[in-house]
């Protein structure tokens, strides 16, 4: 395991912005890194070798993986059978295909939490819309509830809240998880990292604020305003999960703090995560370098933040579609502690994630003030 160390050939399934930032971190150690992505000139293309192909296609993943020593992911919806075969052929695959299989299915994830007595919202697994109607008639499912497709949900697609009977015609007619709607006070995320030898490092929890309808992260803050006990509880859960799910690499854990003060696990992602972008500037070891340390079985780097940070998503301005034009960059760069990351997506469209901005500083009030100013100044538009 990890025998080639720094000389390993690393293959990443997915070459989006997460793959790009992973490749940027890999460049610090001059690692040999390739990404598999179908998009021409995917974001990671600037800093990694891109192989064009579909990370959901068995043959494409197998052929790509056979050229690598270590295979990892930047997106979890990838072809699992090919990863199992690569492991059988002696390749190192992180996270392990069995852990990834559990996480790819939101139903299995929820059953895992229940089996291990980990706090999560009440749920029931259903086959289709008819099944949901039957359970409503039997008073087993009550309004309001959340329906989540078991597979291939991403960034809010495949998740919907059903408030009342009149909305039942929206139901997805597919295998799903039905969850009790949580009265959310705060949405929290925490990153855990674990290397092959089992060393674990936990980052500070962050608070996330989402766009009310598009379900995209607008704003994130670290450290967040949890009290000491809640923060400890969140970190302990992340520690337990990364160990019990047997993850090598990063595990991003999304949680809810409900209005009664309960901490509930929402879902996990076994890869670098958008909730950890601030770690590039705000933590001694970025999530991307930490992921590389994990899969190369290097000692993990310190994680805890010693500054205040706010992360803003840079989303395509509503009303504009076409070649992206960035307004306000220079003005924002003139402000202290502002770090702009553009993902290199050629085309903008309304609410498309085009980049992110991290604002760091010692004083939370200053950081908030600058973040407000940045969000007013910077815009992604296109010629109309």
Using CB under 6 A, list all residues that contact ligand ADP.
121, 146, 148, 153-156, 159, 179, 181-182, 184, 187, 210, 215, 254, 266-267
Q: How far is the CB of 41 from ligand ADP (least distance, A)?
A: 26
Q: Which is nearer to ligand ADP, 183 or 325 (CB)?
A: 183
Residues 6 or more apart in contact with residue 193 via CB below 8 angstroms: 200, 201, 202, 203, 242, 249, 250, 251, 287, 290, 291, 293, 294, 300, 303
Closest by CA to 293, choosing from 163, 367, 223, 197, is 197
Q: Which is nearer to ligand ADP, 163 or 346 (CB)?
A: 163
Q: How far is the CB of 322 from ligand ADP (least distance, A)?
A: 27
Q: How far is the CB of 162 from ligand ADP (least distance, A)?
A: 11
Q: How far is the CB of 62 from ligand ADP (least distance, A)?
A: 27
> How far is C-alpha 214 from the geometric centre of its chain's CA atoms?
16
Q: How far is the CB of 71 from ligand ADP (least distance, A)?
A: 23
Q: Which is nearer to ligand ADP, 182 or 201 (CB)?
A: 182
> How far is C-alpha 64 from the geometric centre of its chain's CA atoms?
23
Q: Which is nearer to ligand ADP, 121 or 348 (CB)?
A: 121
Q: What is the spatial distance between Cα 277 and Cα 287, in angstroms, rounded to a whole number? A: 7
261-270 burial by CB neighbour count: b if 16+ within 10 A, else e?
Answer: eebbbbbbbb
Q: Which is nearer to ligand ADP, 253 or 303 (CB)?
A: 253
Q: What is the spatial distance between Cα 38 and Cα 193, in angstroms, rounded to a whole number? A: 28
236-245 burial by CB neighbour count: b if 16+ within 10 A, else e?
Answer: ebbbebbeeb
Q: Which is nearer to ligand ADP, 86 or 141 (CB)?
A: 141
Q: What is the separation, in whole angstroms, between the first and last Cα of the chain?
A: 54
Q: How far is the CB of 192 from ligand ADP (least distance, A)?
A: 17
Q: What is the spatial distance between Cα 214 and Cα 334, in angstroms, rounded to a whole number? A: 31
């Amino acid at each position: 395991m990890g025998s080639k160390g720094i000389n390993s050939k690393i293959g990443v399934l997915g070459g989006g912005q997460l793959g790009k930032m992973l490749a940027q971190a890999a460049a610090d150690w001059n690692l040999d890194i390739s990404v598999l992505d179908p998009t021409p000139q995917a974001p990671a293309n600037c800093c990694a070798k891109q192989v064009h192909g579909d990370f959901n296609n068995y043959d494409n993943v197998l052929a790509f993986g056979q050229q690598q020593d270590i295979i990892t992911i930047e997106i979890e919806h990838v072809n699992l059978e090919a990863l199992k075969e690569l492991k059988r052929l002696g390749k190192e695959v992180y996270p392990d295909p069995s852990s990834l299989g559990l996480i790819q299915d939101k139903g299995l994830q929820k059953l895992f939490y229940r089996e291990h007595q980990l706090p999560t919202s009440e749920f029931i697994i259903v086959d289709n819309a008819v099944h949901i109607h039957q359970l409503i008639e039997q008073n087993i499912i009550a309004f309001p509830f959340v329906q989540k497709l078991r597979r291939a949900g991403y960034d809010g697609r495949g998740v919907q809240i059903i408030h009342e009977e009149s909305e039942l015609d929206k139901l997805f007619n597919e295998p799903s998880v039905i969850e009790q709607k949580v009265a959310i006070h705060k949405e929290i995320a925490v990153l855990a990292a674990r290397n092959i030898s089992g060393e674990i490092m936990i980052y500070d929890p962050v608070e996330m604020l989402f766009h009310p309808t598009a379900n995209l992260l607008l704003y994130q803050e670290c450290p967040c305003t949890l009290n000491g006990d809640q923060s400890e509880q969140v970190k302990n859960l992340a520690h337990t999960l990364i160990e019990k799910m047997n993850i090598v690499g990063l595990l991003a854990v999304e949680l809810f703090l409900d209005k009664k003060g309960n901490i509930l696990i929402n879902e996990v992602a076994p890869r670098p995560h958008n909730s950890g972008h601030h770690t590039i500037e705000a933590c001694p070891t970025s999530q991307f370098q930490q992921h590389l340390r994990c899969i190369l079985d290097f000692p993990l780097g310190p994680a805890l933040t010693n500054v205040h940070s706010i992360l803003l998503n840079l989303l395509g301005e509503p009303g504009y579609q076409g070649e992206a034009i960035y307004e306000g960059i220079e003005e924002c760069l003139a402000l202290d502690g502002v770090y702009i990351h553009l993902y290199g997506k050629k085309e903008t469209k309304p609410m498309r994630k085009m980049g992110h901005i991290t604002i760091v500083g010692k004083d939370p009030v200053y950081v908030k003030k600058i973040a407000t100013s940045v969000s007013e100044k910077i815009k992604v538009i296109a010629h109309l």
